[in-house]
């Protein structure tokens, strides 16, 4: 860094109101009073989360656009109710957080060679970037719009195949493939 | 009604006031959380009961059932004494608050023949009441007597002095608690509270003196009574209208006195973990927190008594214009208590409003505010008030005999206050700036210091100038 690049900042000289503190204090108290009034009259207040949700509010009013929201994963099923995944490992390769663990096995069905015996996603390690969804050649893994998942232990938050398939059943009506 | 005449009035006033204040203290914590939420566009506690009204109950239960932990190395006796002392002091200070003016009671006594009537009358009235007038004969052996008593716990003629003495003891809770905790953060909190208390007691006392000079009495009940009339028939004669500047300083000082933000350096949670109550848990912590709010009630009550006319509202004056505090109606007395309490709540709301609007002062700013502005300004206000009162003599004889402030004097005092305020504003521009504290000092050669890098031959000279500058700064400090 050169001397010429350094900008010397001087503290601005205080105005009389600043220096005497009281007028500026009253201005500040006016601001908080305005906020109190707005809150009490219900004109401006935070969303009351469990009762009100951001997705129920229009986007222009500060709501959430669910269509672009990346939430917890699901494993899609095909028409026969079988898991769509072919255990190609594309998603776990693409995953920047290394949170997808797949164990492949020989498929019991004639139309494909492999299927996942085990399919675990660590939802705590996942960064919800959606790269797995992009990488999947058969559209088997998808990110749903569910964001309020909870678990009491870390182990609970590692979603296995059954859980991910169940997530499909829960969300397929709201979010078709 | 026999038992009522046996128990002196101050006992049941004390019981009721104590209960009301303790319940209010619990609800003040809820109010504080609500006010905090409102300023931050939130709604606040609303899960326990309707509008969260049972929240204090839940908090209290939590406090009782928490583990009463005392860390090793603490002073066992002082550690327990501190919260108790703090609460005790605040409750004792509550005794002189003039809740309801003076209550006058008319009653009849029967006196046996040959007995001294006056002595029998005095024996029959409650302990702290005064007999008014002579006993008059109703029929043979029965006399009608009148007595009156101040509707407060202790009617001290030096109530204000008592309050100042007791309230400054409250800091002992903070200091002793901080010291007994054997924790450096608690200790620093206690030290800060001490220095702050010493500094802010002075302007606080001077503001009180201003009011004492105006009213000529230390009795809180009489101070309130002297405000119970109207200037020009319209404006209530509250001291706040005559002494706005003294009121402003008093309000700031009671913020510091009650350790409230922006003067809550004793418990600055960002720097001192929890401040003086870092090591406290369970109900000992509960007592410390509650006494903080109880102290708010007491200081607000003093503020209301001194500056906002206490129980005074139109329609609550007694029949006697000379002594408007005296009333014989129970309804009026109770209404006065309610009015007083509502006024106190309004002042407490201001406390909370300020807390959620102002950032905390740095410690040197806090000291500068007390020593460089408040102490000189309050001294000048006191002096100016004394001079103005010497020259402004009330025209009306009744005002003079009662030592009331009449409208013209009030206007003069108001003008003096505003003039001093403007004068202080001008003077603060003219006076030399405060010493350089906490300013960044350039260190030659450091890459964080924006000082020009000297040429090869000039290093020695630059170091020399810097050294001189540093010496100059430290001399200035």
- Chain centroid to Cα A126, Å, comes to 10
What CA–CA distance (Å, rounded) separates A147 from A149? Answer: 6
pLDDT in tens, B175-217: 888 888 888 888 888 888 888 888 888 999 999 999 998 888 8
| Chain A residue set in contact with B, beta carbons under 8 Å | 3, 6, 8, 16, 19-20, 22, 25, 28-29, 31-33, 35-36, 38-40, 44-46, 48
Nearest chain A residue (CA) to B453: A3
What CA–CA distance (Å, rounded) separates B146 from B105? Answer: 6
Overall average pLDDT of the B333-342 stretch: 87
Q: Which pLDDT does position B2 carry in this prediction?
A: 54
pLDDT at B436 over 60: no
Q: Which pLDDT does position B1 carry in this prediction?
A: 45
What CA–CA distance (Å, rounded) separates B217 from B227? Answer: 12
- What is the bridge-based pairing of β-strands A73-75 and A141-143? antiparallel
Instruction: Identify the residue among A6, A24, A29, A41 best suited for mutation to test binding to B, counting B beta carbons within 10 A and taking the highest.
Output: A29
Q: Which pLDDT does position A103 carry in this prediction?
A: 92
pLDDT at B438 over 60: no
The CATH architecture annotation of domain A64-171 reads 2-Layer Sandwich (3.30)
Out of B41, B248, B429, the one facing A16 most closely (by C-beta) is B429
Overall average pLDDT of the B449-475 stretch: 68
Cis bond upstream, residue A49 (ω within 30): no
pLDDT at B314 over 60: yes
Which of A95-109, A117-131, A149-163, B310-324 has the lowest average pLDDT? B310-324
Overall average pLDDT of the A161-177 stretch: 86
Nearest chain B residue (CA) to A47: B42
What CA–CA distance (Å, rounded) separates A165 from A149? Answer: 15
Distances in whole angstroms, Cα of residue B331 to Cα of each of A174, B103, B131, B149, B470: 65, 11, 22, 16, 70
Per the CB < 8 A criterion, the answer to whether B249 and B374 are in contact is yes
* Cβ separation A38–B428 shorter than 8 A: no
Q: Which pLDDT does position B440 carry in this prediction?
A: 55
Confidence of residue A121 (pLDDT cuts 50, 70, 90): very high
pLDDT in tens, B52-100: 889 888 988 888 898 888 888 888 888 888 888 888 888 888 888 888 8
Q: Which pLDDT does position A102 carry in this prediction?
A: 92
Q: Which pLDDT does position A61 carry in this prediction?
A: 82
Out of A16, A38, A48, the one facing B425 most closely (by C-beta) is A16
B440 close to A (CB below 8 A) = no
Å from A9 to nearest chain B CA? 10
Q: Which pLDDT does position A119 carry in this prediction?
A: 92
What CA–CA distance (Å, rounded) separates B166 from B150? Answer: 21
B438 close to A (CB below 8 A) = no
Å from A136 to nearest chain B CA? 43
B371 close to A (CB below 8 A) = no
Q: Which pLDDT does position A44 carry in this prediction?
A: 77
Confidence of residue B445 (pLDDT cuts 50, 70, 90): low
Å from B38 to nearest chain A CA? 5
Å from A107 to nearest chain B CA? 53
- What is the bridge-based pairing of β-strands A158-159 and A141-143? unpaired
What CA–CA distance (Å, rounded) separates B361 from B369? Answer: 10
pLDDT in tens, B33-53: 999 999 988 888 888 888 888
Residues pairing with A119 in the sheet? A102
Q: Which of the pair, B467 or A92, is modelled with greater confidence?
A: A92
Question: How high is the ipTM of this complex?
Answer: 0.74
Out of A8, A19, A25, the one facing B358 most closely (by C-beta) is A25
Q: Which pLDDT does position B98 carry in this prediction?
A: 87
All residues of chain B having their beta carbon less than 8 Å from the beta carbon of residue A20 are 424-425, 428
Q: Which pLDDT does position B275 carry in this prediction?
A: 79
All residues of chain A having their beta carbon less than 8 Å from the beta carbon of residue B358 are 25, 28
Overall average pLDDT of the A152-172 stretch: 90
Instruction: Identify the residue among A14, A38, A45 best suited for mutation to test binding to B, counting B beta carbons within 10 A and taking the highest.
Output: A45
Domain ranges of chain B: 2-97+154-430, 102-150
* Cβ separation B42–A39 shorter than 8 A: yes
* Cβ separation A19–B37 shorter than 8 A: no
B437 close to A (CB below 8 A) = no
- The structure's pTM equals 0.80
pLDDT at B269 over 80: no
Nearest chain A residue (CA) to B252: A22
* Cβ separation A19–B41 shorter than 8 A: no
CA angle (A40 as vertex; A35, A43 as ends), nearest 5 = 70
pLDDT at A40 over 60: yes
Of the candidates A56, A43, A54, A71, the residue with the CA atom closest to the CA atom of residue A127: A71
Buried/exposed code over B95-131 (b: 16+ C-beta within 10 A; e: otherwise): bbbbbbbbbbbeeebebeeeeeeeebbeebbbebbee
Out of B43, B353, B429, the one facing A32 most closely (by C-beta) is B353
Å from B249 to nearest chain A CA? 11
pLDDT at B450 over 80: no
Most confident segment among A45-54, A97-106, B95-104, B279-288: A97-106
Nearest chain B residue (CA) to A22: B248
Q: Which pLDDT does position B209 carry in this prediction?
A: 92
pLDDT in tens, A13-24: 777 777 778 888
Out of B248, B358, B425, the one facing A28 most closely (by C-beta) is B358
Å from B42 to nearest chain A CA? 6
* Cβ separation A6–B428 shorter than 8 A: no
Nearest chain B residue (CA) to A23: B425
Q: What percent of chain A has pLDDT over 90?
A: 37
Overall average pLDDT of the B362-370 stretch: 84
Q: Which pLDDT does position B183 carry in this prediction?
A: 85
* Cβ separation A19–B453 shorter than 8 A: no
Q: Which pLDDT does position A54 carry in this prediction?
A: 86
Which of B244-253, B298-307, B325-334 has the lowest average pLDDT? B325-334
Average pLDDT, chain B: 82
Domain ranges of chain A: 16-46, 64-171
Instruction: Identify the residue among A8, A15, A20, A26 best suited for mutation to test binding to B, counting B beta carbons within 10 A and taking the highest.
Output: A20
All residues of chain A having their beta carbon less than 8 Å from the beta carbon of residue B424 are 20
All residues of chain B having their beta carbon less than 8 Å from the beta carbon of residue A3 are 452-453
Q: Which of the pair, A79 or A14, is modelled with greater confidence?
A: A79
All residues of chain A having their beta carbon less than 8 Å from the beta carbon of residue B450 are 6, 8
Out of A8, A29, A45, the one facing B42 most closely (by C-beta) is A45
Confidence of residue B5 (pLDDT cuts 50, 70, 90): low
Å from B382 to nearest chain A CA? 20
Residue whose entry in the numeric block shows the structure tokens 């001008």: B426
* Cβ separation B38–A20 shorter than 8 A: no
Residues pairing with A143 in the sheet? A73
B248 close to A (CB below 8 A) = yes
Q: Which pLDDT does position A101 carry in this prediction?
A: 92
pLDDT at B353 over 80: yes
């Amino acid at each position: 860094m050169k001397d010429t690049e350094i900008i010397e900042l001087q503290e601005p000289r205080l105005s009389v109101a600043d220096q005497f503190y009281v007028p500026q204090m009253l201005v500040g108290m006016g601001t908080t009073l305005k906020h109190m009034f707005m809150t009490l009259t219900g004109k401006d207040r935070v969303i009351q989360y469990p009762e009100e949700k951001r997705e129920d509010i229009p986007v222009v009013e500060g709501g959430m656009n669910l269509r672009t929201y990346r939430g917890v994963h699901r494993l899609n099923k095909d028409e026969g109710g079988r898991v769509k995944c072919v255990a190609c490992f594309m998603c776990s390769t693409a995953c920047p957080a290394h949170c997808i663990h797949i164990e492949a096995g020989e498929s019991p069905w004639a139309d494909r060679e492999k299927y996942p015996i085990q399919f675990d996603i660590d939802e705590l390690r996942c960064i919800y970037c959606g790269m797995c969804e992009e990488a999947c050649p058969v559209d088997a893994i998808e990110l749903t719009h569910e964001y309020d998942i909870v678990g009491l232990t870390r182990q609970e938050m590692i979603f296995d195949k059954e859980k991910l398939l169940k997530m499909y059943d829960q969300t397929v009506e709201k979010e078709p493939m | 009604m026999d038992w009522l005449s046996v128990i002196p009035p101050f006992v049941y006033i004390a019981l009721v006031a104590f209960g009301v204040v303790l319940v209010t203290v619990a609800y003040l914590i809820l109010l504080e959380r609500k006010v905090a939420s409102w300023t931050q566009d939130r709604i606040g506690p609303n899960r326990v009961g309707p509008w969260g009204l049972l929240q204090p109950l839940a908090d209290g239960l939590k406090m009782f059932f928490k583990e009463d932990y005392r860390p090793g190395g603490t002073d066992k006796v002082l550690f327990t004494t501190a919260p108790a002392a703090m609460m005790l002091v605040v409750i004792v200070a509550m005794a002189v608050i003039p809740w309801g003016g003076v209550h006058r009671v008319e009653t009849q006594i029967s006196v046996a023949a040959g007995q001294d009537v006056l002595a029998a009358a005095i024996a029959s009235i409650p302990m702290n009441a005064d007999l008014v007038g002579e006993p008059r004969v109703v029929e043979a052996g029965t006399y009608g007597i009148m007595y009156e008593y101040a509707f407060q716990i202790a009617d001290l003629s030096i109530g204000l002095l008592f309050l100042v003495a007791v309230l400054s003891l409250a800091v002992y809770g903070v200091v002793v608690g901080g010291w007994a905790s054997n924790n450096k953060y608690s200790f620093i909190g206690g030290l800060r509270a001490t220095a702050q208390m010493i500094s802010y007691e002075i302007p606080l006392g001077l503001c009180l003196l201003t009011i004492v000079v105006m009213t000529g009495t230390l009795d809180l009940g009489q101070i309130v009574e002297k405000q119970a009339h109207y200037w020009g028939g319209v404006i209530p004669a509250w001291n706040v209208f005559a002494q706005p500047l003294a009121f402003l300083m008093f309000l700031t000082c009671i913020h510091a006195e009650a350790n409230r933000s922006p003067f809550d350096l004793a418990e600055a949670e960002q720097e001192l973990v929890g401040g003086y109550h870092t090591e406290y848990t369970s109900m000992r912590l509960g007592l410390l927190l509650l006494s903080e709010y109880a102290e708010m009630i007491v200081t607000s009550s003093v503020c209301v008594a001194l500056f906002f006319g206490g129980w005074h509202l139109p329609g609550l004056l007694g029949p006697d214009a000379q002594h408007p505090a005296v009333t014989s109606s129970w309804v009026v007395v109770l209404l006065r208590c309610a009015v007083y309490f509502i006024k106190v709540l309004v002042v407490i709301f201001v406390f909370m409003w300020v807390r959620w609007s102002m950032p905390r002062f740095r410690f040197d700013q806090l000291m500068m505010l007390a020593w460089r502005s408040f102490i000189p300004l309050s001294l000048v206000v006191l002096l100016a008030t004394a001079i103005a009162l010497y020259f402004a003599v009330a025209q009306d004889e009744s005002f003079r005999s009662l030592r009331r402030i009449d409208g013209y004097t009030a206007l003069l005092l108001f003008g003096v206050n505003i003039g001093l305020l403007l004068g202080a504003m001008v003077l603060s521009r003219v006076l030399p700036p405060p010493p350089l504290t906490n300013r960044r000092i350039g260190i030659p050669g450091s890459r964080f210091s924006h000082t020009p890098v000297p040429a090869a031959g000039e290093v020695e000279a630059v170091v020399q100038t810097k050294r001189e500058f540093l010496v100059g700064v430290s001399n200035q400090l």
